[in-house]
Amino acid sequence: MSFRTLGVLAAVTSLLAMAGCGSPAAPAGDPAEAHPAASSRSSAAVPGSPTESVPTRPNIVFVLVDDLSMNLVQYMPNVQKMQRDGTTFTNYTVTDSLCCPSRASILKGQFPHNTGIVKNHGSDGGFRLFHSRGQEKSTIATDLQAAGYRTAFLGKYLNEYFPKKTMGTGKPYVPPGWDQWFGGGNAYDNFDYDLNENGQVKRYGKKPQDYLTDVIAGKAANFISTTATTGQPFMVEVSTYTPHSPYTPAPRDEKLFPGLKAPRTAAYDKVPAGSAWLPPNLKLTKDQARRVDEEFRKRVQSVQSVDRMVGTLRDTLAKSGVADDTVVIFSSDNGYHMGEYALPSGKQTAFDTDVNVPLIVAGHGVGAGRSVSSVVANIDLRPTFTDLAGAPPSPECDGRSFKTLLSGDAPADWRHATLIEHHDPATDPKDPDFQYDSKNIPPSYDAMRTERFTYIEYVDGTREYFDRKTDPYMLTNVAGTLAPERLAELTTALHGLATCVGADACGKASRAVS
């Protein structure tokens, strides 16, 4: 359903209400009162430009899942329907294959070397560091709220966020920018968890109806339907713990896909030739291979609840009459390897299994059935959201809006490469991403990923270069065959990306190599 065009006064008021990315959050109280022009879906011509109109500002529904790899999409019919209805980005790359650094990059639109979040917890990562650095004062949420959107968050926020913590506020802490907040803590099992529900902590148990993915799906659907009646644009992020380990499926899904095994791709149980860090004779043990198959089956079972949620949210948009005025985004914080490269279940590597994850967008203004190969990264989500909302990007963002790519227009100056950072690996057993089944975790590295190749420099000075056009499974490191001039070019370009600050500098660095 499209909303009627409002008058000139509403257009001017709406424009004045839009604040730049990084502006302070809206005043407390009724969101509609705080943003008098928030109900404007589209507006009339700006004075002096009678033939021009302000574009519709669509609602935004962002579904962010945890550790979902590309090979799970084939088991998700509602997500596949999103692909048919919308646009799939085949070269979407995360800044770090680790939960908290990636999620911080999404919230801030910045690389980890600028957020300062490189781990899930401790002195160089986690929610407490993010909070203590004042990072929450300027995020996707504050941007959209300042632009007149009603905002909601449901599910997993950042590692080390716990619903009962007050952070000095005197009550369970709710980050700025969110009109509705349903934040979880250490809820990876999807049962027996707390939710901070707008400053009140509620305990959920072990009953089937307590399954967390289902709970936040229902709350998100209610937020959509109630907000749609007001005409105010909205943004909701639904962030699941699924399918992160222990890969707990909803009770009704736990017997599905009997006998299913992890894919035996060309990379399964095979160490890349010339690997800079993996032992050349490494092989999965029988127990590791058995666990990989069991865990893959549980992951497929567990994402059924995510897939139903996607269907529920899109159905709710349609029933509420706002499907045509909404952009739906589906993605993951990082990928996951399961048997590839002779590694049991885990992440943190620069292999595509871990860093190249789904990004699927459908809805208002999005081309249907399209596939885009342009290199897009999670630092681009924040500036894209503000662009959709009609607000300028924050000057602190390293990424840029990919809004034009949604309609099929590829800018001539789009990036050639993006950066992957991995520093201070997750080797603490207290870390939820600690890999119990393997000591083979890559050392710290910086990597550069283009449409064609992945180039990696490790902390010890070793290098890897994989030509993914001729070697799609990344099984042969050919860094040693490159000319010195080419290696020097790659090193310079990678250093530029690894030290860039801001969209202009990072954009220039991203085009320094092809």
User: Is the pLDDT reported for residue 69 higher than 60?
Assistant: yes
Measured distance between the N- and C-terminal CA atoms of the chain, rounded to whole angstroms:
44
> Is 70 exceeded by the pLDDT of residue 161?
yes
Task: Report strand pairing: 453-458 vs 463-467.
Answer: antiparallel
At residue 444 the predicted structure's pLDDT band, cuts being 50, 70 and 90, is: very high
Is pLDDT above 60 for 41? Answer: no
Q: Would the pLDDT of 55 be above 60?
A: no
Is pLDDT at 28 greater than 60 in this prediction? no
Convert 312-329 into a string of H (helix), E (strand) and C (coil).
Answer: HHHHHHHHCCCHHHEEEE
Q: Is the predicted pLDDT of residue 4 greater than 60, yes or no?
A: no
Provide the 10 A C-beta neighbour count for residue 469: 9
Amino acid, res. 223: F
By CB neighbour count within 10 A (0-12 exposed, 13-18 middle, 19+ buried), where does 352 fall? buried
Q: What tokens appear for 273 in the block?
A: 């030739």
Q: Tally the residues of the chain.
A: 514
Q: Are the C-beta atoms of residues 177 and 206 closer than 8 Å to each other?
A: no
Find out whether 337 and 345 touch, Cβ atoms under 8 Å: yes
Contact 243, 279 (CB under 8 A): no
Rounded CA gap, 433 and 249, in Å? 19
Contacts of 430 (CB under 8 A, 6+ apart): 121
Tell me what pLDDT residue 429 has: 64
Q: Which residues of 140-156 are buried (b: 16+ CB within 10 A; e: fewer)?
A: bbbbbbbbbbbbbbbbb
Q: Does residue 24 carry a pLDDT above 50?
A: no
Q: Find the DSSP H helices in 211-251.
A: 212-228
219 and 154 Cβ atoms separated by less than 8 Å: yes
Asked whether the predicted pLDDT for residue 71 surpasses 70, the reply is yes
Q: What is the pLDDT of residue 437?
A: 54
Q: What's the confidence (pLDDT) of residue 492?
A: 98
- Residues in a beta bridge with 93: 356, 377
Q: Span 8-15, mean pLDDT?
A: 34
Give the mean pLDDT of 18-42.
Answer: 36
The CA dihedral of 390, 393, 399, 404, to the nearest 10 degrees, is 20
pLDDT of residue 456: 98
pLDDT tens sequence across 263-277: 999 999 999 999 999
Please give the Cα distance from 295 to 400 (Å, whole number): 36
Q: Is the pTM of this model over 0.85?
A: yes
The single residue listed with the structure tokens 């009770």 is 251
pLDDT for res 428? 64
Best-predicted range by mean pLDDT (16-20, 51-55, 373-377): 373-377
Beta strand 180-184 with 150-155 is parallel
Above pLDDT 70, what percent of the chain? 86
pLDDT for 122: 83
Q: pLDDT tens digit string along 315-365?
A: 999 999 999 999 999 999 999 999 999 999 999 999 999 999 999 999 999
Q: Which two tokens stand for residue 67?
A: 């550790």
**What separation in angstroms does the CA of 184 have from each of 123, 135, 157, 475, 492?**
22, 19, 7, 39, 42
Dihedrals phi, psi of 290, to nearest 5 degrees: -65, -45
Q: Residue 20 above 90 pLDDT?
A: no
pLDDT of residue 150: 98
pLDDT tier for residue 470 given thresholds of 50, 70 and 90: very high
Q: The dihedral of CA 408, 410, 415, 416: what is its sign? A: positive
Q: What is the mean pLDDT of the chain?
A: 89
- At 275-321, the pLDDT tens digits run 999 999 999 999 999 999 999 999 999 999 999 999 999 999 999 99
In 282-368, DSSP assigns E strands to: 326-332, 359-363
Q: Over 90: is that where the pLDDT of 215 sits?
A: yes
Q: Is the dihedral of CA 379, 385, 388, 392 positive or negative?
A: negative
Q: What is the pLDDT of residue 121?
A: 82
pLDDT at 52 over 50: no
328 beta partners: 61, 362
Residue ranges of alpha helices (H) inside 396-479 are 403-406
**Is the predicted pLDDT of residue 104 greater than 70, yes or no?**
yes
* Residue 315: predicted pLDDT: 98
Token couple for 376: 């897009």
